[in-house]
Amino acid sequence: MDYIIATHNMKKRNELARILEPLGLNVFTADQLNIRLTDVEETGSTFAQNAQLKSRSGCKESGMPCIADDSGLQVDALGGAPGVYSARFAGEHGNDEKNNALLLKKLENVPDEKRTARFVCTVSCTYPDGKEILISGACEGKIGYEPKGEGGFGYDPLFMVGDKSFAEMSAEEKDKISHRGNALRALARELAERNNKK
pLDDT of residue 198: 58
pLDDT of residue 13: 80
How many Cα atoms are found within 13 Å in the side-chain-facing hemisphere of 69? 26
Cβ-contact 35, 62 below 8 angstroms: yes
Sheet containing 26-29: which strands, arranged edge to edge? Answer: 26-29, 2-5, 66-75, 116-126, 132-143, 159-161, 164-165
Percent of the chain with pLDDT over 70: 98
Q: pLDDT by residue (tens digit) across 152-180?
A: 889 999 999 999 999 999 988 998 999 99
Is 45's pLDDT higher than 90?
Answer: yes
Q: pLDDT by residue (tens digit) across 107-148?
A: 999 999 999 999 999 999 999 999 999 999 999 999 999 999
The residue-averaged pLDDT of 173-194 equals 88
Q: Which is more confident, 8 or 38?
A: 38
Amino acid present at 165: S
Q: Cα separation of 163 and 166, whole Å? A: 10
The residue-averaged pLDDT of 45-55 equals 97
Q: Where does residue 162 fall: left (phi above 0), alpha (psi -120 to 50 degrees), or beta otherwise? A: left
Q: Cα separation of 120 and 10, whole Å? A: 19
The residue-averaged pLDDT of 17-32 equals 84
CATH class of the domain at 2-197: alpha beta
Instruction: For residue 43, count other CB atoms closer than 10 A to its CB.
Output: 9
Cβ-contact 1, 192 below 8 angstroms: no
Q: pLDDT by residue (tens digit) across 79-98?
A: 999 999 999 999 988 899 99
Q: Cα separation of 83 and 75, whole Å? A: 8
Q: Cα separation of 77 and 106, whole Å? A: 9
Cβ-contact 118, 140 below 8 angstroms: yes
Cβ-contact 68, 124 below 8 angstroms: yes
70 an active-site residue?
yes
3-state SS, residue 4: strand
Q: Cα separation of 37 and 59, whole Å? A: 9
pLDDT of residue 189: 86
Catalytic residue among 2, 39, 69, 70: 70
Which of the four pLDDT bands, split at 50, 70 and 90, describes residue 102? Answer: very high
The residue-averaged pLDDT of 23-27 equals 82
pLDDT of residue 7: 83
In angstroms and rounded to an integer, the radius of gyration of the C-alpha atoms of the chain is 17
